[in-house]
Amino acid sequence: MELQVKDIIQWFELTNEKIQANKDYLTSLDQPIGDGDHGINMARGFKEVVNKISTQDYENVADVLKDVAMTLMSKVGGASGPIFGTAFLKLSIAVKGSDSLNFETFTKGLEEAVNGVKQRGKATEGEKTMIDVWSPVVDYLKSEKDFQGDQIRKTAKQAMENTKEIMATKGRASYFKEKSIGHIDPGAASSFYIFEALAEVIKGGN
């Protein structure tokens, strides 16, 4: 399958639904190891994303992704704004010119997204951030030939759960040092919803 403009829009609508439904949960993850605003931040940002992209006509996927990125950057408020914003901006730039996204283009684009986030946040794998979900998903995609929703969801879920055992060395959670161990990273949890939503779009399309 290829992801069309309508699929990308649906991806963010589904993500928004999940984030709104789990707003309090995401915030509760940010309480022991942060400032308890992650759910509020993401809910505010993704609501604006859906408002923006559902009222617009798009000819190609890159333009949708760019609007998603810019909206997240300016509306989220916390570190997750520039982080997720950068991810979708890099994805948008990487897929510029394609009307729809085939598996290969998408995988390459997502790899660029992870590279962009690493640069922006000066972080890498194993620091208890959303990178610890995005990077394993990219690794999984690179080992495959086509979209498989169930596997994407499974990879993201496992990766999110793995963040529990990591000690945070980036972001606000890093101030808590070893006390950050034993908690799922909030940005990893919202990243799981992003990939779970993607998995549902893929399953609907296959």
Partner 1 sequence: MSRVGIVLISHSSKIVEGIKDLIGQVIQDVPIELAGGTEENDIGTSIDIIGKAINNADQGQGVLLFYDIGSAKMNAEIAIEMAETKDIKLVEAPLVEGSYVAAVESSMRKSLQEVYDSVVKAF
CA triplet 168, 85, 7: central angle to 5 degrees?
A: 115
Asked if 41 interacts with partner 1 (CB under 8 A), we say yes
- Binding region for Mg ion (CB under 5 A) out of 12-20, 21-29, 37-45, 115-123: 37-45
CB of 80 to Mg ion, least distance (A): 7
Asked if 39 interacts with ligand ADP (CB under 6 A), we say no
Among 10, 80, 86, 155, binds ligand ADP (CB under 6 A): 80
Instruction: Say how far apart CA 127 and CA 188 lie, in whole Å.
Output: 11
Q: Which residues, 6+ apart, have CB-to-CB distance to 175 below 8 Å? A: none
DSSP 142-180: HT-SS--HHHHHHHHHHHHHHGGGSPP-SSGGGGGGGGG
Asked if 177 interacts with partner 1 (CB under 8 A), we say no
**Structural tokens at position 51:** 């408002």
Among 70, 172, 176, 181, binds ligand ADP (CB under 6 A): 172
Task: Say if CB 72 and CB 51 are below 8 A apart.
Answer: no
- Per CB under 6 A, contacts with ligand ADP among 49-68 are none
Among 74, 143, 158, 206, binds partner 1 (CB under 8 A): 74
CB of 204 to partner 1, least distance (A): 34
Binding letters toward ligand ADP, positions 150-169, x by CB under 6 A = --------------------
Asked if 180 interacts with ligand ADP (CB under 6 A), we say no
Task: Say if CB 106 and CB 95 are below 8 A apart.
Answer: yes
Instruction: Say how far apart CA 166 and CA 48 lie, in whole Å.
Output: 32
